[in-house]
Amino acid sequence: MKFETKVGVSHTDKIFVHGYDLVEDLMGSITLADMAFLGAKHRKPTENESRMLNAVMVAICEHGFTPSSISTRLTYLGAPEAVQAAVAAGLLGAGSVYLGAMEQVAEMLGKGFEKYGENKSASELATLILADRDEQGLQLPGFGHPIHKPVDPRTVKLFELAKELGFYKKNSEVINEISKQFNAKKGKSITLNAVGAIGAVLADMDFDHRVMKSFAVAARAVGLVAHIVEEIEVGRKESVGQKLFDFIEENTNYTVQVASKV
């Protein structure tokens, strides 16, 4: 049985990644986000594509104390010899609530275009997509934030960059129209969060919605390293992981059951 891959091939004195010479064509020439683009598209990004994807990944790299970063700190407390385990634990705690549902946003928009065609205006498509979500009893992905109300500053910046770099297209137009109509319907401002913006912008960059979260996971892995570094810097006794453990220990009631002899 023969296994083949075009992703990476190693020879005695050469390494090729997606057809590029790793040493001569990539090292020192492109960023880590560019490598992520290369993995998804099998080509190096243009300058504008590079700037946009780097901005997207930086936007979701770090967000303070979340279940993801707390998981990393607690795992590092128990296994300081395995940094990879701490980062992996944090990634396992990253999901649609505390990392983002950009793929659901892009899928929702894509299905809207597929069902109703691309000749309708952004306003018409937004109305139809919202009606479909209501009819199916589905939540609207990409909206709401516990802290950033009524505006997520990352969303504003991402759309500014998308317009500047040429990636503010049909998906971005529709998600912003959905935001307007959704807020009007609710009678209040509900945040179009960074995830909503990212799902639309990456769709406008022609990324498959199924790989979008991979960019978020890669970015979060980088961010989690800083949480490990902070645990190291303050020392085990003063670490967040230890304080959380101590708090739980102090506030847990233990019930000991002793079986009576018959």
- pLDDT tens, position by position, 148-202: 899 999 999 999 999 999 999 999 999 999 999 999 999 999 999 999 999 999 9
DSSP-assigned letters across all residues of 137-190: T---TTB--SSS-S--HHHHHHHHHHHHHT---HHHHHHHHHHHHHHHHHTS--
52, 162 contact by CB (below 8 A): yes
- pTM of the predicted protein model: 0.90
State the pLDDT confidence band at 146, using cuts at 50, 70 and 90: confident
Domain ranges for the chain:
100-211
**Phi, psi (deg, nearest 5) at residue 27:** -65, 125
Sequence-ordered list of residues with C-beta below 8 angstroms from that of 71, at least 6 positions apart, any chain: 89, 90, 92, 93
The domain defined by 100-211 folds into Cytochrome p450-Terp; domain 2 (1.10.230)
